[in-house]
Amino acid sequence: MKHFTKALLGAAAVVALMAGPSVAAEKAEVIHWWTSGGESAAVKVFADQFNAAGGEWVDAAIAGGEAARAAGINRIVGGNPPTAMQFNTGKQFEDLVAQGLLGNLDEVAKADGWDKFLSPVLVKAVSRDGHYFAVPVNIHSNNWLWYNTALLEANQIEPPKTWDELFAAMDKLKAAGVIPMAQSGDAWTQVLLFNDVLLGVGGRDLYLKVYGDNNVEAVKSPEFAKVVETFGKLREYGDPGQQGRQWNQATGLVVSGKAGFNFMGDWAKGEVIAAGLTPGKEVGCVPGIGNQVYWIGGDVFVFPKTDNADAQKAQALLAHTMLTPETQVAFNAKKGSVPVRGDVDTSKLDACAQAGLKLLGTENGSVPGFDFLQTPDKIGSIQDVIGQFWTTPSQAPADLQAKFADIIATE
Amino acid sequence: MASLTANAPVEPSGPRPKRIGPGRYGVYAFLIISALFFLIPLYVMIVTSLKPMDEIRMGNLFALPGSPSFDAWIKAWSQACTGLNCNGIHVGMLNSIKILIPSVILSIAVGSVTGYALSFWRPKGANILFAILLLGAFIPYQVFLYPLVRILSMVSLYNSIPGVVFVHTIFGLPLMTLLFRNFYAGIPIDLFKAARVDGGGFWAIFLRLMLPLSTPIIVVAAILQITGIWNDFLFGLIFAGRENFPMTVQLNNVVNSSFGEKEYNVNMAATILTALVPLFVYFVSGRWFVRGIASGAVKG
Amino acid sequence: MKPRFLRFWMAQVALAPAWLIVIFAYIGTILWTIQISFTSSKVFPVSNYVGFSQYTRLFGSERWIISVQNLAIFGILFIVGCLILGFLLAVFLDQRIRAESVFRTIFLYPYALSFIVTGLVWQWTLNPTLGIQQTVRNWGWESFTFDWLSRGDRAIYVIALAGMWQASGLVMAILLAGLRGVDGELWKAAKVDGIPTWRVYLHIVIPILTPMFVTATVLLATAVVKVYDLVVALTNGGPGISTEVPAKFVIEYLFQRQNLGLATAASTVMMITVLCVLAPWLYVQYFRQPRSAH
């Protein structure tokens, strides 16, 4: 009931803000790929808030980011665009901006004061040439180390704080006959692991030089060689069942005590909670092992350009609704991520999220995820070489380093 | 040489078995062993669909369910969620049928006429047409998406059932043409020449002579098209429009949710449910393999 | 005599829909694809021409080379395997057996199931820690190993096996349709002459079924060139990139990796390759004589 009242208040605020509120519901068809249980619950927050604000949310959920994006982009090409569609934060929607197919959100951004509550990293991620083209809705952090508390205690292992401690701990687990590190066979999880090592062993500066500046010398440096070597060493701690295993099954191995450690983003919490456990208790978390720096990602919504005045109204209303403090808190609590607004109450979040938020709050405590910095094309090539290296135990680290340098060197 | 003749047998045509002997057992042994190989995945799917999730996570893949339950089937049919709509996969079934029937009929109609014209009449340019069609059959569909979206929105068919039917007809044409052309290549040309001498025109020969002979190949064509169109996900997603999404879009939503717990039992049940229509067609099509030839036999 | 064109005007009319489709949907798209492959298009087609640089990149890509090699291995195993298994199934089904429609449905059903999920079942069955390997080990044969799916050098064979499982039934259906058309008199004649059954199949029935074999082969070949779902469902290209295939390359660069230029260059290479392979066969099969079979 309290939630409902809050929603009503939010609606009243919106009506006051919007010039000339119309009586008729503004229809907004939204393409997104949030179809799992927790994700649907999160989308429902958007839909409810939008409906309460006088809009009419028309849900177009399509599982799989690729399929959803293909459907959305083709509808834009076919001249029948959706009111809004989801993208990952990053360069995915850059071409749409370049082609002039996205609506400019400067008006809403100015009215709501986006630059006051969005972090500079996010402002940069959603604007091009000083204009806003997307609404960021959440922040996910990618480099978490999850561990099974009981399993570690049984083997007299302290939660590791450095990479050396981690390797020592995994050697113990290996000797004890359990899987030291649960790893998925999906290429993106191998890349996630690599970037965790790059940030944890190589550090913030190296990460930004490699991905931000495309600095080939940085890739050829001894520091990067150490990163690749550490990543290569990790290959010995996986198990033969990883091919075909999905990320949630890998996390599940830690949850069930069959494996000690798992590198995964903060969304892994969902798996812990689904198993009836508490993140930070039965399954512990170490944020940003090694260098205490986060690399962050998230989702945005874009609003394809349209001449229809009603659709434009709906777009403005939706963009506004998604970023109100009420929506942000409720949405991110369901999604397992962190609100994009720095000015909302986060005291209800769990222990791991609190630890993460502290990092986010410090200067230099976070870097943009590599999909903010690199094109999907280059990310794909990086994924290919890392996946190949990870699954070929005989491949030398120097070989990966050379291939990596070639990719960074291309346009 | 004996070939496809008008008075083909009604029954299976293999050599008549002399007696129940070791050879007969061999035939059945081969068929049963092959059937087991084909059935292993189906067995795993059915068993999994009847287990609760805990049992799936812990248990043996091939073990029978401890306490079988149809919850997953009910959930897949009427409760599984696509975003905010939790109505299961049955929602798209009617759409799938609305797309399927006209697409199958139209693609077989165009394909059989084209195959017939190419095979017997061979007008000017026929070879070029056939060569391009064959080449077209080898291009990944995805390459066609952008241009086709443009073309269809130009003629106002984008995001509609006629639009997706049209797309299925386009992509069905190469294989349908090939199927019928090759089938007609096995029919003695003398049959066609005799009909010409009797004064048969293009359509008369097609409708009265060729079509009745074509039952077995129509069955094969229908199997191909029904399966292909029923299981199509991409074209339905891109061309049908949100109101007309076929069942496979819901299946994909149930199965491919990227994050969060995977309900394997629901996935398995949803897959089997989605396949029921083609499976039913396969089961009854056998009759047509046999009966079609009988009724279509042109005596003399 | 009237010119050929006029004599067959009704045939031309009947072919009009096919011509329209070929001109607009196929030729148009093929030309468009070739044109885009010379541009630097990302998500949307643009006309910023960059010469052959997409092709240079394509052939410098290890992933593309591996994809092409995999396609060759998969294609040969899959086509030959399906033809043999499908033919045997059709012949055995044609022996006046009981419950024919049950068997036929069993052999055909894999074709009806969406590979999104059956792929998952195969993945489980072949996963060393979940499926066959573990089951056999639980029975007591501790050293039993069947881990091809997790081995980069073997996984493509497993994919071919799963492909055979899916498509053999279709070959069976096509050949069965052909066998049902074989004249029953043939068997009486063979019996009178005392020719063994296997020789009749080898020397008389198979030649009669040639058009059906051609159809099946072309169908399988198109499935080979377009193979995508199977790989995505079973290995998603892994371990690493060891089971990548060209169609997956195209699709990934079209959507996920947002490089329309490279994707269309890859499609163009695929089309040209197919054309080169098809051309001699097409010529012999269809164009050299008006109706070669007779």
Assess whether A77 and A25 both reside in one domain. yes
Residue A24 sits in the same domain as residue A102: yes
Same domain, A304 and A314: yes
pLDDT tier at B297, thresholds 50, 70, 90: very low
Residue B279 belongs to a domain:
yes
Interface of C with A in 176-195 (CB under 8 A): none
Tokens of B139: 């291009």
Indicate if the pLDDT at residue B176 is higher than 80: yes
Predicted confidence (pLDDT) per residue in B236-266, tens digit = 988 888 888 899 888 888 877 655 567 888 8
User: Cβ-count burial of A111 within 10 angstroms (0-12 exposed, 13-18 middle, 19+ buried)?
Assistant: middle
Residues B43 and B109 in one domain: no
The answer to the question of residue B4 being in a domain is no
Chain B residues 191-230 with CB within 8 Å of chain C: 201-203, 216-217, 219-220, 223-224, 227, 230
Do residue B41 and residue C125 have CB atoms under 8 angstroms apart? yes
Inside any domain, residue B106:
yes
The alpha carbon of residue B142 is apart from the nearest alpha carbon of chain C, in Å, by: 7
List the domain range (segments joined by +) for residue B162.
91-252+271-296
Do both B65 and B204 map to the same domain?
no
C262 and A CB contact within 8 Å: yes
pLDDT band at B294 (very low <50, low <70, confident <90, very high): very low
- By C-alpha distance, the chain A residue nearest C127 is A241
Of B10-19, B42-51, B159-168, C192-201, which range is least confident?
Answer: B10-19
pLDDT-derived band at B117, boundaries 50, 70, 90? very high
pLDDT for A138-174, tens place per residue? 988 888 999 999 999 999 999 999 999 999 999 999 9
% of chain A residues with pLDDT over 70: 94
Q: What does the alpha-carbon distance between residue B4 and residue C179 come to, in Å, rounded to a whole number? A: 9
Residue B289 within any structural domain of the chain: yes
A53-94 pLDDT per residue, tens: 999 999 998 888 888 888 898 888 888 899 999 998 888 888
Check whether residue A220 and residue A369 sit in a common domain: yes
What is the percent of chain B where pLDDT is above 90?
Answer: 26
Scanning A64-93 for CB atoms below 8 A from B yields 64-65, 67, 70-71, 74-75, 77-80
The number of distinct structural domains making up chain C is 1
Residues A401 and A327 occupy one common structural domain: no
Give the pLDDT score at C87: 96
The C-alpha atoms of residue A246 and residue C123 are separated, in whole angstroms, by 12
Q: How far is the alpha carbon of A65 from chain C, nearest alpha carbon, in Å?
A: 9
Mean pLDDT of chain B: 83
**Confidence bin at B8 (pLDDT 50/70/90):** very low
- Indicate whether B158 pLDDT > 60: yes
- B56 and B114 part of one domain: no
Average pLDDT, chain A: 87
Strand partners, A283: A148, A279
| Any domain includes C227 | yes
Q: Which of A243, A391, A404 is the best substitution to test chain C (most C C-beta atoms within 10 A)?
A: A243
Residue C3 falls inside a structural domain: no
**Residue C288: pLDDT band by 50, 70, 90 thresholds?**
low
Number of structural domains, chain A?
A: 2
**8 Å CB contact of B238 and A29:** no
C246 band by pLDDT with thresholds 50, 70 and 90: very high
Same domain flag for A106 and A54 = yes
Q: Across residues B70-81, what is the average pLDDT?
A: 87
**pLDDT level of residue A315 (50, 70, 90 thresholds):** very high
Alpha-helical regions (H) of B69-144: 71-78, 91-116, 126-136
Cα separation of C82 and C215, whole Å? 13
Domain shared by B61 and B186, yes or no: no
With CB atoms and an 8 Å threshold, state whether A44 touches B158. Answer: no
- pLDDT at C17 (0 to 100): 92
Residue B7 lies in a domain: no
CA dist C114 → A69, A92, A148, A241, A287 (Å): 22, 29, 37, 25, 40
| A287 vs A280: CA distance, rounded Å | 11
Domains of chain B: total: 2
pLDDT at C177: 85
DSSP run (H or E) holding B287: helix B264-296
- The confidence score (pLDDT) of residue A20 equals 39
Question: CB C104 to CB B41 under 8 A?
Answer: no
C272 in B contact zone (CB under 8 Å): no
Q: Could you tell me if A134 and A240 lie in one domain?
A: no
Q: Are residues A106 and A126 in the same domain?
A: yes
- Same domain as B163, residue B48: no
Average pLDDT, stretch A374-399? 93
Q: Which of B247, B257, B263, B264 to mutate to test the interface with A (most CBs of A within 10 A)?
A: B257
Q: Report pLDDT digits (tens) over B16-48.
A: 655 567 778 889 999 999 999 999 999 999 999
Give me the domain span that covers residue A183.
Answer: 142-296+357-409
HEC profile of chain C: CCCHHHHCHHHHHHHHHHHHHHHHHHHHHHHHHHHHCCECCCCCCCCCECCCHHHHHHHHCHHHHHHHHHHHHHHHHHHHHHHHHHHHHHHHHCCCCCCHHHHHHHHHHHHHCCHHHHHHHHHHHHCCCCCHHHHHHHCCCCCCCCCHHHCCCCHHHHHHHHHHHHHHHHHHHHHHHHHCCCCCHHHHHHHHHCCCHHHHHHHHHHHHCHHHHHHHHHHHHHHHHCCCHHHHHHCCCCCCCCCCCHHHHHHHHHHHCCCHHHHHHHHHHHHHHHHHHHHHHHHHHHHCCCCCCC
Judge whether A249 is closer than 8 Å to chain C, CB to CB. no
If DSSP codes are grouped into helix, strand and coil, which group holds residue B155?
coil
Q: CB of B8 within 8 Å of any CB in chain C?
A: yes
Q: Give the H or E element holding residue A296.
A: strand A294-297
- The closest CB to that of A78, out of B81, B153, B253, belongs to B153
Say which range, A97-106, A194-203, C190-199, has the weakest mean pLDDT: C190-199
pTM of the full structure? 0.87
Which residues on B lie below 8 Å from A39 (Cβ)?
257, 259-260
Which pLDDT score, from 0 to 100, does residue B16 have?
60
Q: How confident is the model at residue B14 (pLDDT cuts 50, 70, 90)?
A: low
Report the pLDDT value the prediction gives residue B1, as an integer from 0 to 100.
35
By CA distance, what is B9's nearest residue in C? C184
pLDDT-derived band at A105 (thresholds 50, 70, 90) equals very high
Structural domain contains residue C189:
yes
pLDDT digits (tens, 9 = 90+) for C98-110: 888 889 889 999 9
Interface of B with C in 238-297 (CB under 8 A): 248, 251-252, 255-256, 264, 267-268, 270-272, 274-275, 278-279, 282-283, 286-287, 289-290, 293
Q: Supply the CATH number for residue A250's domain.
A: 3.40.190.10
Q: Do residues B154 and B59 both lie within one domain?
A: no
Tokens of A48: 């409810």
Are B180 and B115 a contacting pair, CB within 8 Å?
A: yes
To 10 degrees, what angle do helices B145-154 and C28-36 make? Answer: 130
Q: What is the pLDDT of residues C115-168, one digit of tens each?
A: 777 887 888 888 887 778 888 888 888 888 888 888 888 899 999 999 999 999
Find chain A residues with C-beta within 8 A of B257's C-beta: 35-36, 39, 63
pLDDT for the residue numbered A141: 87
Q: Residue C191: which domain range?
A: 61-258
pLDDT value at C291 more than 70: no
Q: Which of residues 63-92 of C touch B (CB under 8 A)?
A: 85, 88-89, 91-92
**Beta carbons of C287 and B173 less than 8 Å apart:** no
Q: Confirm whether C215 is domain-assigned.
A: yes
Asked if residue B51 is part of any domain, the answer here is yes
Are A74 and B254 an interchain contact pair (Cβ–Cβ within 8 Å)? no
